[in-house]
Structure 1
Amino acid sequence: MPASIPRSSANGGKPCFNAQIGLCPGVCSGAISAQEYAKIIARIKLFFEGKKAILIRKMEKEMRDYAKKQEFEKAGELKRQIFALTHIQDVALIKNREHSLLETNESGTGQSFRIEAYDIAHLSGKDTVGVMTVLEDGQPAKSQYRKFKIKRRDGAHDIANLREIIERRLTHTEWPYPQMIVTDGNEVQRRAVEEIIATAKLSIPVVSVTKDERHRARAIIGDAKLVEKYKRAIVLVNNEAHRFAIDYHRTLRGKIFKNGRK
């Protein structure tokens, strides 16, 4: 870094706009020296590198040095800055703490809050497929999405297809169970899934998303408190299931046409 930083010639050495609103220490106008400015930059760098403990130790040493020189105003300013730093949690730590609270409060088990959504896709009852999409703590967990080729011959029966993929999913005990299941449809679909869940002696709330003519969420059927709390997540995972099902079915149909069966 250069030994000195020239004052701005454009404004005659007057404080820049940022300095006037308190966002610049005033090196442009000579309010602080180049050495002091370099020290501020070094502190900021340490902070954003996550080296807060090192930064505080350096500032404490500077504070003691100022006190020995009887520069009490500078020592007092450093003391206030050190106090502020010791009461600031790093952004990463705040995020981890909120994530940890979410896990504990939502799932009650210390695990991620998991929502699974299911959807069916077919063309006039042919080549029917089902999918499962997953949200963990509000974020799509795409590595955990799953595809199912429906084994039933009557692929146009949506309730039976839904029952099949839920039953098959529950055989995979190596997959973590969700804290909520989302289906596409209405009360009929919701009750069908609830019956399977009850038969498996599990306790997982189920909600259904009804759609308008443009396939947009019109209503969510299920526990009112859960729906209110997780509405955005429910719509997101449901939309993901619809998209994933359509993409899977198109891919499958493309392979079938390529192999000559129409």
Structure 2
Amino acid sequence: MIKNLTQQIKSASAQQDFETALTLRTKIERFTHFVQTHTFRDSASISYNTSDLKLSSLQKLLTSEINHLTSLHRIECYDASNSALHDSTVSLVVATDGLLDRGQYRRFRVKNPRSRSDFDRLFEAVSRRLKHSSWPQPDLIVIDGGTPQLTKLQPLFDLLPEPIPLLGLAKHPDRLVFPDGKTLKPASNDPGFLLLQELRNEAHRFANSYRRVIEQNRTKL
């Protein structure tokens, strides 16, 4: 802003428009004074405040349908991607305290040749993930999909010693889908809903990037 105003002052002075130049200089002085006399929060604190809003909103959205939702510290989201059977992958992305936690992302290359549908691929990936007892326990698992995907996965969750809430995020239009078949379409600007959409989109991007790496490596052989 100051750089732009300074350029305008030079231009006005060159045209001998000293009144305009003086007005612009006054603006610079006022802006400089404002910056010097006000304390601004850093970007990290703003991000955390925003994430708190997203989590509290999401908690309100889900508690009416998910009784055992006690925390949203760790949210995991899964998305399947494939261009051919041998290039099928599933991505796992994580939000920790409402912020994308890229250090926790994982990729699953589908190994079972019988996993021919997105349902089967998600089932394989989530099954393998749940066997990693040393990994942090998720407070919520979100699937890119709706009732068919949840129906396929529910038997895995029925066998867990401690319940983990399961949720679907379906498209066209974007809406929440619960294991009992109920759906919910929050307001498009709802902070909690936006967090889930951000996770879903990130899972999709992450799965596709891994699939492209596999395809590129295959073409080099």
Q: Same fold (TM over 0.5)?
A: yes
| Separation in structure 2 between the aligned mates of residue 220 and residue 121 of structure 1, nearest angstrom | 21
Q: Deviations over 1:19-43 (max 9, x none)?
A: 9xxx95xxxxxxxxxxxxxxx89x8
> Does structure 1 conserve the Cα–Cα contact (< 8 Å) formed by 2:177 and 2:183?
no
Q: What does 1:1-262 align with in structure 2 at a 5 Å threshold?
A: 24=30, 44=37, 48=39, 91=41, 98=49, 113-212=73-172, 218-222=174-178, 228=186, 230-259=192-221
- Indicate the larger mover: 93-102 or 230-239: 93-102
Identity of aligned residues (%): 25
CA 1:97/1:189 → structure 2, altered by over 3 Å: closer, same or farther? closer
CA 1:108/1:142 → structure 2, altered by over 3 Å: closer, same or farther? same
| Separation in structure 2 between the aligned mates of residue 102 and residue 108 of structure 1, nearest angstrom | 17
Q: Deviations over 1:57-84 (max 9, x none)?
A: xxxxxxxxxxxxxxxxxxxxxxxxxxxx
Q: Deviations over 1:83-139 (max 9, x none)?
A: xxxxxxx84697699589779966856xx6222111112223223211101122332
Structure 1 residue 175: deviation in Å? 2.2
Q: Does the residue aligned with 1:177 lie in a helix, a strand or coil?
A: coil
Corresponding residue of 1:61: none
> Does structure 1 conserve the Cα–Cα contact (< 8 Å) formed by 2:92 and 2:106?
yes
Structure 1 residue 244: deviation in Å? 1.0
Q: Does the residue aligned with 1:143 lie in a helix, a strand or coil?
A: helix
| Separation in structure 2 between the aligned mates of residue 244 and residue 97 of structure 1, nearest angstrom | 23
Q: Deviations over 1:7-28 (max 9, x none)?
A: xx969x99x8669xxx95xxxx
Please report the RMSD computed on the Cα atoms of aligned residues, expressed in angstroms.
4.0
Q: Does the residue aligned with 2:163 lie in a helix, a strand or coil?
A: coil
Q: Does the residue aligned with 1:183 lie in a helix, a strand or coil?
A: strand
> Partner amino acid for 2:202?
E
> Does structure 2 conserve the Cα–Cα contact (< 8 Å) formed by 1:126 and 1:156?
no
CA 1:114/1:227 → structure 2, altered by over 3 Å: closer, same or farther? farther
Which structure has the larger Rg over C-alpha atoms?
Answer: 1
Q: Does the residue aligned with 2:91 lie in a helix, a strand or coil?
A: strand
| Separation in structure 1 between the aligned mates of residue 174 and residue 213 of structure 2, nearest angstrom | 29
> Does structure 1 conserve the Cα–Cα contact (< 8 Å) formed by 2:90 and 2:109?
yes
> Does structure 1 conserve the Cα–Cα contact (< 8 Å) formed by 2:51 and 2:97?
no
Corresponding residue of 1:36: none
Q: Does the residue aligned with 1:126 lie in a helix, a strand or coil?
A: helix
> Does structure 2 conserve the Cα–Cα contact (< 8 Å) formed by 1:120 and 1:128?
yes
> Does structure 2 conserve the Cα–Cα contact (< 8 Å) formed by 1:179 and 1:204?
yes
| Separation in structure 2 between the aligned mates of residue 138 and residue 97 of structure 1, nearest angstrom | 8
- TM-score by length of structure 1 reads 0.56
> Does structure 2 conserve the Cα–Cα contact (< 8 Å) formed by 1:102 and 1:137?
no
